[in-house]
Structure 1
Amino acid sequence: MARNKYYAAAFAAFFIWGFFSFALKPLQNYPSLDILFYRVFFSVATMILINVLFRRKVVTQNWHYLRSLPVVEQRNAIVMTLGGAVFLSSNWFIYIFVMNHVSVNAASLAYLICPILTTVFAYFLLKEQLSKWQWFAVFVSFVSCILLGYGHFSAIFYSLLTAATYAFYIISQRKNTAIDKFFGLTIQLILTAVILAPFYPTDSGAVPTEPLFYGCMALIVVFFTVIPLFLNLYALKGISSSAVGIMIYINPIINFLLAIFYYDEQVSFVQLFSYFLILVSIVIFNEKLFFGKKKASLV
């Protein structure tokens, strides 16, 4: 099916992000804001380099196309791109802070809440329709989040902030269809760098000198920023915001498994059961993708 490549792109993006802690945890002694500064600035340099070396024709075509649009459409594209930059930079900072200064499980909870918020926002803001099975999957996800959040309410505030910022990012980019996704992502990262630049002289620490920092930053920029963000935006070209949103569950499931088997964080039976419910909700939400061919063969 033609749409399978968009589902595969969404799955790959969040599968990659599930291992983000491998590059982020070694930097836990660095301030969260410093990590954000260097992540954004190095990502901008990488994106500009890629566009200059390999995509100059595409960039030129998109620039001329954007200028040829009616004023209203130009304004909408600019607002969506600028809003996406604000939501993305906010999400990155909060996520880094939660991952390094709260817990891996708290970061996972944020991305368990995010698909629910994305689905609800898409329903009300984009008028995306869901089947009864998909609403049931959202309900199952909601139950799992209630179970996971019980007794950990101190982390819920940060989880909600992280989830809401990324949900709004997905929603805004679903509507932002006027320009090429990679070109749009480059603009967003440049805008994010512009937003952060005034804070760098006063709020950054000493310039890092350890090779470990720059090695981890290279991984973060290439494998945990540019590649998955592009895959995420590419997926939004062919499937709904809610379909992309539900794939976010891949990320916290991997985080949860790493928390148990790699970081030796303690988990309870309730947490194990909650993550099982999340797996069930993914299957239910995408039942047409998983069972569509089987149903068709029975007709």
Structure 2
Amino acid sequence: MRLNKYYSAAFLAFFVWGFFSFALKPLHHYPSLDILFYRVFFSVITMVMINVIFRRKVMRQNWNHFKNISSKQQKNVVLLTLGGGVFLSSNWFVYIYVMNHVSVNAASLAYLICPIVTTVFAFFMLKETLSKWQWVAVSISFFSCILLSFNHFQDIFYSLITAATYALYLVSQRKNNDLDKFLGLTIQLIFTALVLLPFYPKYSGAIPTEPLFYTCMFMIVVFFTIIPLFLNLYALKGINSSAVGIMIYINPIINFLLAIFYYNEQVSFLQLFSYFLILVSIVVFNERILFSKKPKAMPTEIEGL
């Protein structure tokens, strides 16, 4: 088995995200919108500081590159970057709401649907091709999600919104290759913060005073926002959206295990069987990588970080 650095980055991103509930569940008594506000604002402050202190050369290079490309390319960069910010912030809000006010299982279901939606979007919007085994994997995943929706149909509404917003984010950023990934993510979060800022005075609660809130928020910003998002965007440099999308299954599988063994949520045999099918689909989708006898050349990097 030979896993290149792009697959490794995608795997690590979703593996880390699988433990998001550890930082999020202790904040369940805070409104979802408040958590979103502070997550975005603190992320922006942290990322701007990193760029200004450590990455000024990269910023200058990207600004010069942006000025030298055609006006059509410039519009495309702006649209993809700001549009990605909208999709990402929408995904965050819905996910926080579902995790803290519906159930951990419902959040897992959202990201079980997401790889299927991502694959479909990438097929029609990016014309990404899939092998017959990858289509078999998608079919297995689709069947497992149908099984999981039994007796949980109300969760499907939230799950579809969460899945669609993140799938659109992945697909759009696959084509957003004219900016450094970390800088592009910073711009997206700045844009999101500017959109949210006018709503903060009216819709936010009292300023949190508990040390627990800021401890959890630090973990959310660093370990469950900046690091995995950067790894996710880095992975999109070398593998297609469908391959990154199928890795999303790592997240809900970990959530599902935590729901059973840590949060003591009740699960049925049907749910256990469905998650087993999902594991099978991951292996089938990545059969070329997992069972390749000959090392394959790694994809060429689109741009340096």
Question: Could you say which TM-score interval applies, normalised by the shorter chain?
Answer: over 0.9
Name the structure 2 match of 1:7.
7
Q: Deviations over 1:125-151 (max 9, x none)?
A: 000000000000000000000000111
Letter in 2 for 1:133: W
CA offset at residue 294 of structure 1?
A: 7.2
Report the count of equivalent residues.
Answer: 296
Cα distance in 2 for partners of 1:184, 1:7 equals 21
Cα distance in 2 for partners of 1:181, 1:192 equals 16
Q: In structure 2, do the counterparts of structure 1 residues 276 and 294 end up closer, same or farther at CA, with 3 Å as the change threshold? A: farther
Q: Deviations over 1:82-130 (max 9, x none)?
A: 1000000000000000000000000000000000000000000000000
Name the structure 2 match of 1:242.
242
Relative to the length of structure 2, the TM-score reads 0.95
Name the structure 2 match of 1:114.
114
Cα distance in 2 for partners of 1:200, 1:2 equals 47
Name the structure 1 match of 2:140.
140
CA offset at residue 81 of structure 1?
A: 0.3
Is the 1:16–1:228 contact (alpha carbons within 8 Å) kept by the matching residues of 2?
yes
Letter in 2 for 1:70: S
Letter in 1 for 2:185: L
Name the structure 2 match of 1:93.
93
Q: Deviations over 1:63-95 (max 9, x none)?
A: 111111100000000000010000000000000
2:44 partner SS = helix
1:29 partner SS = coil
Q: Percent identity among equivalent residues?
A: 75
Name the structure 1 match of 2:300.
none
CA offset at residue 293 of structure 1?
A: 2.1
Cα distance in 1 for partners of 2:200, 2:272 equals 41
Is the 2:3–2:290 contact (alpha carbons within 8 Å) kept by the matching residues of 1?
no
Q: Mapping of 1:156-171 within 5 angstroms?
A: 156-171=156-171
Cα distance in 2 for partners of 1:61, 1:294 equals 38
Q: In structure 2, do the counterparts of structure 1 residues 38 and 66 end up closer, same or farther at CA, with 3 Å as the change threshold? A: same
Give the helix-richer structure, 1 or 2: 1
Letter in 2 for 1:167: A
Letter in 2 for 1:286: N
Name the structure 2 match of 1:37.
37
Cα distance in 1 for partners of 2:40, 2:118 equals 24
Is the 1:17–1:251 contact (alpha carbons within 8 Å) kept by the matching residues of 2?
yes
Q: In structure 2, do the counterparts of structure 1 residues 11 and 32 end up closer, same or farther at CA, with 3 Å as the change threshold? A: same
Q: Mapping of 1:23-34 within 5 angstroms?
A: 23-34=23-34
Is the 1:3–1:238 contact (alpha carbons within 8 Å) kept by the matching residues of 2?
no
Cα distance in 2 for partners of 1:200, 1:243 equals 37
**Runs of 4+ with >4 A deviation:** none
Cα distance in 2 for partners of 1:295, 1:140 equals 27
Q: Deviations over 1:180-215 (max 9, x none)?
A: 000100000000101111100000000000000000
Cα distance in 1 for partners of 2:172, 2:287 equals 26
Cα distance in 2 for partners of 1:205, 1:63 equals 38
Cα distance in 2 for partners of 1:63, 1:124 equals 32
1:293 partner SS = coil
Name the structure 2 match of 1:194.
194
Name the structure 2 match of 1:22.
22
Unpaired runs of 5+ in structure 2? 297-305
